[in-house]
Copies of this chain bind each other. A is one copy, B any other.
Amino acid sequence: MDTIITNLTSPVVMAFVMGIMVKAIKSDLEFPQVLYKSISIYLLVAIGLKGGVELSKTPFSEFILPASATIFMGIITPIIAFVIIRYLGKVDLDNSAGVAAHYGSVSMVTFLASISYLQTEGLEPEGFMPTLLALLEIPGIIVALMIPLLQKSSNSSFGKAMHEVVTGGSIVLLLGGLIIGFIAGPVKFQSIEPFFVNGFQGALFLFLLELGMVTARRFRDLKKVGFFIVAFGILVPILHGFLAILIGFWSGLSLAGTVVFATMVSSASYIAAPAAVRIALPKASPTIYLTASLGITFPFNITIGIPLYYAISLWIGG
Protein backbone atom coordinates (compact mmCIF):
# COMPACT_ATOMS: atom_id res chain seq x y z
CA MET A 1 0.00 0.00 0.00
CA ASP A 2 2.76 2.34 1.01
CA THR A 3 4.70 1.65 -2.14
CA ILE A 4 1.61 2.39 -4.18
CA ILE A 5 1.31 5.81 -2.56
CA THR A 6 4.99 6.53 -3.16
CA ASN A 7 4.36 5.69 -6.76
CA LEU A 8 1.16 7.71 -7.04
CA THR A 9 2.84 10.85 -5.72
CA SER A 10 5.78 10.71 -8.10
CA PRO A 11 5.59 13.64 -10.52
CA VAL A 12 5.32 11.57 -13.70
CA VAL A 13 2.47 9.45 -12.36
CA MET A 14 0.69 12.57 -11.13
CA ALA A 15 1.11 14.04 -14.60
CA PHE A 16 -0.68 11.02 -15.99
CA VAL A 17 -3.52 11.39 -13.49
CA MET A 18 -3.69 15.10 -14.27
CA GLY A 19 -4.11 14.26 -17.96
CA ILE A 20 -7.05 12.02 -17.13
CA MET A 21 -8.62 14.72 -14.94
CA VAL A 22 -8.19 17.34 -17.67
CA LYS A 23 -10.43 15.29 -19.92
CA ALA A 24 -12.80 14.36 -17.09
CA ILE A 25 -13.66 18.01 -16.46
CA LYS A 26 -14.09 18.44 -20.22
CA SER A 27 -11.37 21.06 -20.52
CA ASP A 28 -10.70 22.16 -24.07
CA LEU A 29 -6.95 21.77 -23.54
CA GLU A 30 -5.34 20.06 -26.52
CA PHE A 31 -1.76 18.99 -26.93
CA PRO A 32 -0.51 19.59 -30.47
CA GLN A 33 -0.08 16.22 -32.15
CA VAL A 34 3.36 17.38 -33.30
CA LEU A 35 4.46 17.95 -29.70
CA TYR A 36 3.40 14.41 -28.84
CA LYS A 37 5.38 13.02 -31.75
CA SER A 38 8.41 15.21 -31.06
CA ILE A 39 8.61 14.11 -27.43
CA SER A 40 8.24 10.46 -28.52
CA ILE A 41 11.17 10.88 -30.89
CA TYR A 42 13.23 12.53 -28.18
CA LEU A 43 12.45 9.85 -25.58
CA LEU A 44 13.19 6.95 -27.93
CA VAL A 45 16.50 8.41 -29.09
CA ALA A 46 17.47 9.29 -25.53
CA ILE A 47 16.71 5.79 -24.22
CA GLY A 48 18.62 4.27 -27.10
CA LEU A 49 21.66 6.46 -26.62
CA LYS A 50 21.90 5.93 -22.89
CA GLY A 51 21.36 2.21 -23.30
CA GLY A 52 24.06 2.04 -25.96
CA VAL A 53 26.57 3.91 -23.83
CA GLU A 54 25.89 1.59 -20.90
CA LEU A 55 26.07 -1.47 -23.12
CA SER A 56 29.52 -0.40 -24.29
CA LYS A 57 30.63 -0.70 -20.66
CA THR A 58 28.99 -4.10 -20.01
CA PRO A 59 30.95 -7.34 -20.49
CA PHE A 60 29.21 -9.63 -22.96
CA SER A 61 29.02 -12.45 -20.40
CA GLU A 62 26.91 -10.34 -18.07
CA PHE A 63 24.51 -9.46 -20.80
CA ILE A 64 23.94 -12.75 -22.60
CA LEU A 65 21.62 -14.39 -20.04
CA PRO A 66 19.27 -11.43 -19.56
CA ALA A 67 19.15 -11.01 -23.33
CA SER A 68 18.18 -14.63 -23.82
CA ALA A 69 15.58 -14.35 -21.07
CA THR A 70 14.12 -11.34 -22.86
CA ILE A 71 13.77 -13.09 -26.17
CA PHE A 72 12.29 -16.10 -24.44
CA MET A 73 9.64 -13.91 -22.80
CA GLY A 74 9.04 -12.21 -26.12
CA ILE A 75 8.15 -15.60 -27.58
CA ILE A 76 6.00 -17.06 -24.83
CA THR A 77 3.98 -14.05 -23.66
CA PRO A 78 2.10 -13.57 -26.95
CA ILE A 79 1.31 -17.29 -26.97
CA ILE A 80 -0.02 -17.17 -23.40
CA ALA A 81 -2.05 -14.05 -24.20
CA PHE A 82 -3.40 -15.64 -27.36
CA VAL A 83 -4.46 -18.87 -25.69
CA ILE A 84 -6.25 -17.01 -22.90
CA ILE A 85 -8.14 -14.61 -25.11
CA ARG A 86 -8.97 -17.12 -27.84
CA TYR A 87 -10.04 -20.12 -25.78
CA LEU A 88 -11.10 -18.57 -22.49
CA GLY A 89 -12.52 -15.40 -24.00
CA LYS A 90 -13.86 -17.04 -27.16
CA VAL A 91 -12.73 -14.02 -29.16
CA ASP A 92 -12.29 -14.57 -32.90
CA LEU A 93 -8.93 -15.45 -34.44
CA ASP A 94 -7.94 -12.05 -35.83
CA ASN A 95 -8.81 -10.09 -32.74
CA SER A 96 -7.08 -12.64 -30.51
CA ALA A 97 -3.88 -12.48 -32.52
CA GLY A 98 -4.12 -8.69 -32.64
CA VAL A 99 -4.35 -8.40 -28.88
CA ALA A 100 -1.59 -11.01 -28.42
CA ALA A 101 0.75 -8.91 -30.58
CA HIS A 102 0.26 -5.99 -28.22
CA TYR A 103 0.95 -7.99 -25.06
CA GLY A 104 3.94 -9.68 -26.63
CA SER A 105 5.56 -6.32 -27.33
CA VAL A 106 6.36 -3.55 -24.89
CA SER A 107 5.41 -0.03 -23.79
CA MET A 108 8.33 2.38 -23.62
CA VAL A 109 6.64 4.72 -21.18
CA THR A 110 5.73 1.97 -18.72
CA PHE A 111 9.36 0.91 -18.85
CA LEU A 112 10.47 4.47 -18.07
CA ALA A 113 7.94 4.85 -15.28
CA SER A 114 9.35 1.76 -13.56
CA ILE A 115 12.86 3.21 -13.70
CA SER A 116 11.63 6.51 -12.26
CA TYR A 117 9.84 4.63 -9.53
CA LEU A 118 12.89 2.62 -8.56
CA GLN A 119 15.06 5.71 -8.48
CA THR A 120 12.75 7.32 -5.94
CA GLU A 121 13.13 4.08 -3.95
CA GLY A 122 16.88 4.57 -4.17
CA LEU A 123 17.52 1.66 -6.54
CA GLU A 124 19.32 1.69 -9.87
CA PRO A 125 18.65 -1.05 -12.46
CA GLU A 126 21.32 -2.37 -14.82
CA GLY A 127 22.40 0.16 -17.41
CA PHE A 128 21.71 -2.17 -20.32
CA MET A 129 17.95 -2.40 -19.67
CA PRO A 130 17.15 -0.26 -22.75
CA THR A 131 18.83 -2.92 -24.87
CA LEU A 132 16.41 -5.46 -23.44
CA LEU A 133 13.60 -3.05 -24.22
CA ALA A 134 14.68 -3.02 -27.88
CA LEU A 135 15.05 -6.80 -27.90
CA LEU A 136 11.56 -7.25 -26.50
CA GLU A 137 9.85 -4.89 -28.89
CA ILE A 138 9.82 -7.07 -31.99
CA PRO A 139 9.65 -10.86 -31.40
CA GLY A 140 6.28 -10.85 -29.66
CA ILE A 141 4.66 -9.07 -32.59
CA ILE A 142 6.13 -11.51 -35.09
CA VAL A 143 5.04 -14.53 -33.08
CA ALA A 144 1.51 -13.20 -32.66
CA LEU A 145 1.11 -12.33 -36.32
CA MET A 146 2.32 -15.79 -37.33
CA ILE A 147 -0.45 -17.54 -35.42
CA PRO A 148 -3.22 -16.71 -37.91
CA LEU A 149 -0.83 -17.64 -40.71
CA LEU A 150 -0.59 -21.15 -39.32
CA GLN A 151 -4.33 -21.45 -38.81
CA LYS A 152 -5.52 -19.78 -42.00
CA SER A 153 -4.42 -19.88 -45.58
CA SER A 154 -1.70 -17.49 -46.67
CA ASN A 155 -1.90 -13.80 -45.91
CA SER A 156 -0.57 -11.45 -48.52
CA SER A 157 0.08 -8.57 -46.16
CA PHE A 158 2.19 -10.52 -43.66
CA GLY A 159 5.41 -9.56 -45.44
CA LYS A 160 4.40 -5.93 -45.46
CA ALA A 161 3.60 -6.09 -41.76
CA MET A 162 7.00 -7.63 -41.04
CA HIS A 163 8.69 -4.78 -42.87
CA GLU A 164 6.64 -2.37 -40.80
CA VAL A 165 7.62 -4.11 -37.55
CA VAL A 166 11.31 -4.11 -38.32
CA THR A 167 11.52 -0.63 -39.84
CA GLY A 168 8.81 1.09 -37.78
CA GLY A 169 9.66 4.52 -36.42
CA SER A 170 9.92 3.48 -32.79
CA ILE A 171 12.28 0.57 -33.31
CA VAL A 172 14.45 2.49 -35.75
CA LEU A 173 14.93 5.36 -33.31
CA LEU A 174 15.61 3.04 -30.38
CA LEU A 175 18.04 0.80 -32.27
CA GLY A 176 19.71 3.70 -34.05
CA GLY A 177 20.24 5.40 -30.70
CA LEU A 178 21.60 2.17 -29.20
CA ILE A 179 24.13 1.69 -31.97
CA ILE A 180 25.30 5.30 -31.89
CA GLY A 181 25.55 5.24 -28.09
CA PHE A 182 27.48 1.99 -28.25
CA ILE A 183 29.97 3.28 -30.83
CA ALA A 184 30.32 6.70 -29.23
CA GLY A 185 30.88 5.37 -25.71
CA PRO A 186 30.80 7.49 -22.55
CA VAL A 187 33.40 10.07 -23.58
CA LYS A 188 31.99 11.10 -26.94
CA PHE A 189 28.50 10.96 -25.48
CA GLN A 190 29.31 13.83 -23.11
CA SER A 191 28.64 16.58 -25.62
CA ILE A 192 25.02 15.54 -26.15
CA GLU A 193 24.45 14.28 -22.62
CA PRO A 194 22.90 17.45 -21.12
CA PHE A 195 20.18 17.46 -23.76
CA PHE A 196 19.33 13.78 -23.59
CA VAL A 197 19.84 13.15 -19.87
CA ASN A 198 19.01 16.31 -17.92
CA GLY A 199 15.84 17.06 -19.81
CA PHE A 200 14.63 13.50 -19.84
CA GLN A 201 12.39 13.28 -16.77
CA GLY A 202 10.74 16.59 -17.55
CA ALA A 203 9.97 15.58 -21.12
CA LEU A 204 8.55 12.34 -19.75
CA PHE A 205 6.35 14.43 -17.44
CA LEU A 206 4.82 16.29 -20.37
CA PHE A 207 4.48 13.06 -22.31
CA LEU A 208 2.56 11.38 -19.51
CA LEU A 209 0.30 14.40 -19.20
CA GLU A 210 -0.62 13.93 -22.84
CA LEU A 211 -0.89 10.15 -22.49
CA GLY A 212 -3.32 10.70 -19.63
CA MET A 213 -5.53 12.67 -21.97
CA VAL A 214 -5.28 9.96 -24.64
CA THR A 215 -6.09 7.27 -22.08
CA ALA A 216 -9.11 9.19 -20.85
CA ARG A 217 -10.49 9.15 -24.37
CA ARG A 218 -10.08 5.35 -24.41
CA PHE A 219 -12.08 5.01 -21.19
CA ARG A 220 -15.21 5.80 -23.18
CA ASP A 221 -14.74 2.50 -25.02
CA LEU A 222 -14.47 0.38 -21.88
CA LYS A 223 -18.12 -0.60 -21.94
CA LYS A 224 -17.91 -1.47 -25.62
CA VAL A 225 -15.22 -4.10 -25.07
CA GLY A 226 -16.93 -5.90 -22.20
CA PHE A 227 -15.89 -7.36 -18.89
CA PHE A 228 -13.66 -10.11 -20.22
CA ILE A 229 -11.24 -7.70 -21.91
CA VAL A 230 -11.07 -5.54 -18.80
CA ALA A 231 -10.20 -8.53 -16.64
CA PHE A 232 -7.74 -9.69 -19.28
CA GLY A 233 -6.04 -6.29 -19.30
CA ILE A 234 -5.36 -6.51 -15.59
CA LEU A 235 -4.74 -10.20 -14.93
CA VAL A 236 -2.56 -11.08 -17.90
CA PRO A 237 -0.01 -8.37 -17.06
CA ILE A 238 0.14 -9.70 -13.51
CA LEU A 239 0.68 -13.21 -14.83
CA HIS A 240 3.34 -12.07 -17.31
CA GLY A 241 4.97 -9.93 -14.64
CA PHE A 242 5.11 -12.85 -12.22
CA LEU A 243 6.72 -15.15 -14.78
CA ALA A 244 9.16 -12.41 -15.70
CA ILE A 245 10.22 -12.01 -12.09
CA LEU A 246 11.13 -15.67 -11.87
CA ILE A 247 13.00 -15.63 -15.17
CA GLY A 248 14.59 -12.28 -14.38
CA PHE A 249 16.15 -13.43 -11.14
CA TRP A 250 17.20 -16.69 -12.79
CA SER A 251 19.03 -14.74 -15.51
CA GLY A 252 21.04 -12.92 -12.89
CA LEU A 253 19.35 -9.52 -12.94
CA SER A 254 19.51 -7.42 -9.78
CA LEU A 255 16.38 -6.69 -7.74
CA ALA A 256 15.89 -3.38 -9.57
CA GLY A 257 16.65 -4.96 -12.93
CA THR A 258 14.10 -7.67 -12.26
CA VAL A 259 11.38 -5.15 -11.43
CA VAL A 260 12.04 -3.25 -14.64
CA PHE A 261 12.14 -6.52 -16.55
CA ALA A 262 8.81 -7.61 -15.10
CA THR A 263 7.26 -4.24 -15.90
CA MET A 264 8.50 -4.40 -19.47
CA VAL A 265 7.24 -7.92 -20.04
CA SER A 266 3.87 -7.19 -18.47
CA SER A 267 3.35 -4.01 -20.48
CA ALA A 268 1.49 -3.83 -23.77
CA SER A 269 2.67 -1.93 -26.83
CA TYR A 270 0.75 1.00 -28.22
CA ILE A 271 3.12 2.27 -30.90
CA ALA A 272 4.82 -0.58 -32.77
CA ALA A 273 2.12 -3.23 -32.41
CA PRO A 274 -0.92 -1.20 -33.54
CA ALA A 275 0.80 -0.22 -36.77
CA ALA A 276 1.77 -3.80 -37.61
CA VAL A 277 -1.59 -5.28 -36.61
CA ARG A 278 -3.44 -2.69 -38.66
CA ILE A 279 -1.56 -3.93 -41.72
CA ALA A 280 -1.43 -7.67 -41.12
CA LEU A 281 -4.84 -8.13 -39.52
CA PRO A 282 -7.07 -5.37 -40.84
CA LYS A 283 -10.16 -7.16 -39.56
CA ALA A 284 -8.96 -6.99 -35.96
CA SER A 285 -10.69 -4.10 -34.22
CA PRO A 286 -8.55 -1.22 -32.91
CA THR A 287 -11.27 -0.62 -30.35
CA ILE A 288 -10.45 -3.94 -28.70
CA TYR A 289 -6.66 -3.94 -28.82
CA LEU A 290 -6.15 -0.27 -28.08
CA THR A 291 -8.68 -0.17 -25.28
CA ALA A 292 -7.03 -3.19 -23.69
CA SER A 293 -3.46 -1.95 -24.01
CA LEU A 294 -3.91 1.80 -23.59
CA GLY A 295 -7.19 2.01 -21.66
CA ILE A 296 -6.60 -0.77 -19.14
CA THR A 297 -3.12 -2.25 -18.95
CA PHE A 298 -1.23 1.01 -19.29
CA PRO A 299 -2.97 2.87 -16.44
CA PHE A 300 -2.99 -0.29 -14.33
CA ASN A 301 0.75 -0.78 -14.70
CA ILE A 302 1.61 2.87 -14.17
CA THR A 303 -0.34 3.17 -10.95
CA ILE A 304 -0.56 -0.27 -9.31
CA GLY A 305 1.39 -2.72 -11.43
CA ILE A 306 4.86 -1.31 -10.89
CA PRO A 307 4.71 -1.21 -7.07
CA LEU A 308 3.10 -4.66 -7.19
CA TYR A 309 5.94 -6.15 -9.22
CA TYR A 310 8.33 -4.50 -6.80
CA ALA A 311 6.56 -6.05 -3.81
CA ILE A 312 6.54 -9.50 -5.44
CA SER A 313 10.20 -9.19 -6.39
CA LEU A 314 11.13 -8.21 -2.85
CA TRP A 315 9.17 -11.15 -1.52
CA ILE A 316 10.67 -13.68 -3.94
CA GLY A 317 14.21 -12.50 -4.36
CA GLY A 318 14.88 -9.59 -2.06
Contact = CB atoms under 8 A, between A and B. Distances in A.
Interface residues of A, number: 57
A172 interface: yes
B11 A42 contact: no
A195 B30 CA distance: 21
Contacts of A163: 26
B191 A119 contact: yes
A11 B172 CA distance: 16
Given A22-B172, A30-B169, A163-B26, A201 B191 contact: yes
A20 to B, nearest CB: 11
A180 B35 contact: no
Contact of A167 (B26, B119, B184, B205): B26
B35 A31 contact: no
A191 B41 CA distance: 20
A45 B14 CA distance: 13
Contacts of A91: none
Nearest to A180: B14
Given A25-B167, A194-B199, A196-B205, 9 more contacts: A9-B188, A10-B184, A28-B164, A42-B206, A45-B205, A192-B202, A195-B199, A195-B203, A196-B202
The 6 residue pairs across chains A and B that have the minimum distance between CB atoms: A195-B202, A29-B169, A27-B167, A194-B198, A191-B201, A32-B34
